[in-house]
Structure 1
């Protein structure tokens, strides 16, 4: 196939036609043609030559040139005589050649044979495909997180291939609402979950089960959400069955729940219909976690809520007749409420909570009877007034003991003396045991650790100040780790003594300063770093654990 004047204009026409069909830049098609013609020329003149082709964008005239580069013989050897020249060789073309200069000679156009023409065609097709993929990726990369309408093309191994106009996207089997079935030609509304650039081209992954899909549907149906008057704060779904969505209004005159429900339920019903009848509970958001949880557990009624911020757990007490409603069918209601609030939820009946409180009351009563040599009635009085351990009795202000019926100043002093004597005896035994286990003086004299703490440390093999300084704060105070999506408790060596994470961090840093490992200034910086790392560690995913 010779490149004659007759088919030179055809190059531009072909490039323009391909560009329109694939919706890409005509310049990219011409560049592909230039590369394919250059490859054909190299097969004619020799692969060692640096042959380049330039196609005039107006006339279609293809110009073939050979390019040779001047090298510095002192820095590199002449490896390719057909593409490189020394300065001496280049003087016949240039007056003062320098390394890096190029010499360009025009060469005759090639006459492309069948094989060369086929190779050129493959190069052009490859370049066009790459340009098409890049255009598709650029078009959709910023549309992740939005809803798009598509046309079902086919099904492959349970996955639905969807035509989205500028290409194909995949609705995976696990991203379909359970009972949905599609046939080729069906129109479908989907959420663009992810757009990835992969070797085989951009991959667009869709979803109909993502909570964000429902949020976007509400934005389309509720103008107040689109305008920012109402915000969706959280969303949890059991796709195709039930969902909970929490909303808040930034305008006191707009009811967030009513606006989302719409006149006679028209707005929420439009979303329900799109989600194949999925029941939706619309809940008012509240910054107070217990209040929000009470709302999230609707329609169940809650009697009492106890929040544990450190463990991110919440305990809910409900009447006996409300237990099944609070839990829901197969635990659905409490599971969605947990996802919505981000808290682990324990549900107890009033009877179960009463039994637990009674057990705690009896345990504390027995503690005071055994350690303070009190009768049962007097010990119960102490527990009823809120005392939970010996330290509170021993070191509380005397006035707080005097409010108990039948307790005068002498009795209060006697109670505190007995409590302190018992604590001192416990401390003495703990220190003796720690010494027997190998406790060293440098750790024993370290301020901030009680004898019971020292005993616990030595039982775990921490016997010197140096060994203590190598401990992490969470090893001492405990923490939480997320494993396979569930929060798991990491017990700390000193957690049972009420040591907080920040206190543990300060103790460890003080030990490192005393040992000369860090300066006080460095300890302050390291403490901030370890605080951040500790918070991150408690949330670390350990799926392989």
Structure 2
């Protein structure tokens, strides 16, 4: 088949028809045709030639051009597409027309002045090719491939901006428990672990889901849906509650046990609007619409509060809370409830407290009033015994110290003496004696811990490192950390402890220095100080990093 005047216009008509069918730009189809014709021409004239095809967008006329580039003499590799300045001169002189010469900047050479330069391009028209059956089939494959790529790019561009939104579709089929959904100009997948409970679908069923992710892959854009994602419920409320859509009410947090129960925290920026009441709606109409979409999932709507303790009390509803103790360093909170409220606070299979923990981002321990009383009494007795044995005090005097808030020997040894004098019956002499005894005990303990650490093989580099107590050094030695280099290679969580999520459950990682109340930030500072002292880290670079982090924190806060 030749490119003749009879089928020139047919090229444009075919391009427009394909573009309309695939909903892509006609220009992309024409470019694919130019590429396919150029490949067919190379098969005729030679694969090493640089053959380019240009189709006139108005007439459909296809122009075949051979292109050669002027390069340095020693850099010529492909003699069909490159030539030297001396080789280029005869072509130019023979035609006496610079119209076929182009500079490397893309400007047509106005005159011969100085002859062709390195980087200049020479082009000449060649006769159109006859497309045989094989060449025509190859050209068709090139066009189809380019069209498919353009279609995939269009689909990705269309759906990438729809991530984190709700989309409606029609079920096409089920594959190994995964649902393939027709979403208009593409297909999406709802994996079986993203479905609510045991819900099932049949072909042609309508479905509403949350676009969790859109990825560009070689086989085309992959659209992943979810009906279990907490944000799916948040988006449903946004659709049902105009105040949320308008920004008057804000959803601060969502926690879900898909298909069973959920908690959602909301806040109103208008004092005249009750956020909980607005989300519930008249006679529960708004929340029931969301519940119906989520297969009957029970939803607790909770007022959000900046005070974490207050927010937690709200999150544990319907259980009543009598006391909250918050540990900021450990990001942990203890909640005390009446004995008869314990099962309600925990919920069936721990559901209520688990959702409250997800909603607040806190690790929650729930105690009954009786358990808390027993624990407080046990702590009181343990501290009393500590002071009696270590300081050689009678029970009454030891109890006085505990009642005044002293918890360990360090507090007694190094507290301002005036604080001891506030205790009834304690004068200056008694206070001095108490502190002297506490310091003697601490010094003896430190010496014993240090001797034990040295016996385990701890080197002076770790002993002399500022920031570690003898007891800490002993604990590190027991875990085979015996040099400053060993310490510098530790991770912060190895020292301070932390939490790891395994199979959706939070698992506690015990830290080597966790018993000494070393926080994650303190562990980071100790490790970095060790690395600086060893020369592993440049202090100037570390200071720049700290400054950048602080600036980013300020910008994020702003």
Q: Report the TM-score, using the length of structure 2 for normalisation.
A: 0.85
Offset of residue 116 of structure 1: 2.0
- 3-state SS, counterpart of residue 491 of structure 1: coil
Q: Which residue of 2 aligns with 1:102?
A: 121
Q: Give the gaps of 5 or more residues in structure 1.
A: 533-545
1:282 matched residue in structure 2: 301
- The aligned residue for residue 49 of structure 2 is 49
Cα deviations across residues 430-474 of structure 1 (Å, max 9, x unaligned)?
45555666677776666655554555566666667x558846583
Distance 1:526 1:481, change over 3 A: farther
Q: Which residue of 2 aligns with 1:543?
A: none
2:103 maps to what in 1? Answer: none
Equivalence map 1:131-210=2 (5 Å): 131-210=150-229
When residues 5 and 308 of structure 1 are mapped into structure 2, their CA distance, relative to the original with a 3 A threshold, is same
Residue correspondence of structure 1 range 110-509 to structure 2 within 5 A: 110-433=129-452, 450-453=469-472, 455-456=474-475, 467=485, 470=488, 474=492, 478-484=496-502, 486=506, 488-493=508-513, 495-500=514-519
Give the Cα–Cα distance (whole angstroms) in 2 for the partners of residues 531 and 334 of structure 1.
35
Q: Distance in 2 between matches of 1:308 and 1:67?
A: 75
Compute the RMSD of aligned alpha carbons.
3.1
Shift of residue 283 of structure 1? 0.6
Distance 1:436 1:40, change over 3 A: closer
Equivalent pair of 1:66/1:106 in contact (CA under 8 Å): yes
The farther-off stretch of 509-518 and 186-195 is: 509-518
Give the whole-Å Cα distance in 1 for the aligned partners of 2:358 and 2:226: 19
**Separation in structure 1 between the aligned mates of residue 220 and residue 173 of structure 2, nearest angstrom:** 19
Deviation at 1:285, TM superposition (A): 0.8
* Partner secondary structure for residue 92 of structure 1: helix
Match of 1:9 in 2: 9
Deviation per residue, 1:214-247 (Å, 9 max, x gap): 1111111111111111111110111111111011
After superposition, give the CA deviation of every residue in 1:166-210 in whole Å (9 maximum; x if it has no partner): 111111111111232222222221211111110111111111111
Match of residue 91 from structure 2:
93
Contact 1:261 1:268 in 2 (8 A): yes
Query: Partners of 2:542 and 2:178 in 1: how far apart?
Result: 55
Distance apart, 1:293 and its partner CA: 1.1
CA distance in 2, matches of 1:40, 1:230: 63
Summarize deviations over 1:507-530 as a string: whole Å, max 9, x none.
667777777888875675577799
Q: 1:440 to 1:195 in 2, by over 3 A?
A: closer
- Report the Cα offset of residue 274 of structure 1: 1.3
Give the conservation status (yes or no) of the 8 Å contact 1:68–1:104. yes
Deviations 1:60-98 (Å, cap 9, x if unpaired)? 11122222333322x323x44433333333222214223
Q: Secondary structure at the match of 2:326?
A: strand
1:71 alignment counterpart: 71
CA distance in 2, matches of 1:49, 1:508: 62
Aligned residues: 528
Residues 85 and 515 of structure 1: is their aligned pair in 2 closer, same or farther, counting only changes over 3 Å? closer
Tell which deviates more after alignment, 198-207 or 371-380. 371-380
Shift of the 46–410 alpha-carbon distance from structure 1 to 2, 3 Å rule, reads closer
SS at match of 2:75: coil
SS in 2 for 1:105: strand
Distance 1:7 1:330, change over 3 A: same
Residues 387 and 398 in structure 2, CA contact (< 8 A), matched pair in contact too? yes
Aligned to 1:277, the other structure's residue is in SS state coil
After TM superposition, the structure 1 stretch with the greater mean CA deviation from structure 2, 420-429 or 301-310, is 420-429
Instruction: Give 3-state SS (helix, strand or coil) of 1:232's partner.
Output: strand
Per the alignment, do residues 130 and 344 of structure 1 end up closer, same or farther by CA in structure 2, a change over 3 Å counting? same
Report the counterpart of residue 62 of structure 1 in structure 2. 62
Alpha carbons of structure 1 residues 120 and 287: separation in structure 2 relative to 1, 3 Å: same
Offset of residue 297 of structure 1: 1.0
Give the gaps of 5 or more residues in structure 2.
Answer: 94-114, 552-558
Contact 1:394/1:416 (8 A) holds in 2: yes
Query: Is residue 2–residue 129 contact of structure 2 (8 Å, CA) maintained in 1?
Result: yes
Tell me: CA distance 1:125–1:261, structure 2 relative to 1, closer, same or farther (3 Å): same
Q: Distance in 2 between matches of 1:207 and 1:122?
A: 36
The answer to whether the 8 Å contact 1:505/1:527 transfers is no
Shift of 1:475: 7.5
Greater shift in the superposed pair: 375-384 or 520-529: 520-529
> Would the alpha carbon gap of residues 16 and 237 (structure 1) be closer, same or farther in structure 2, given more than 3 Å must change?
same
Inter-partner Cα distance in structure 1 for 2:87 and 2:540: 66
CA deviation map 1:355-389 (0-9, x unaligned): 22222111111111212222223322322222211
Aligned mates of 1:23, 1:41 — CA distance in 2: 29
CA contact (8 A) 2:171 2:182 kept: yes
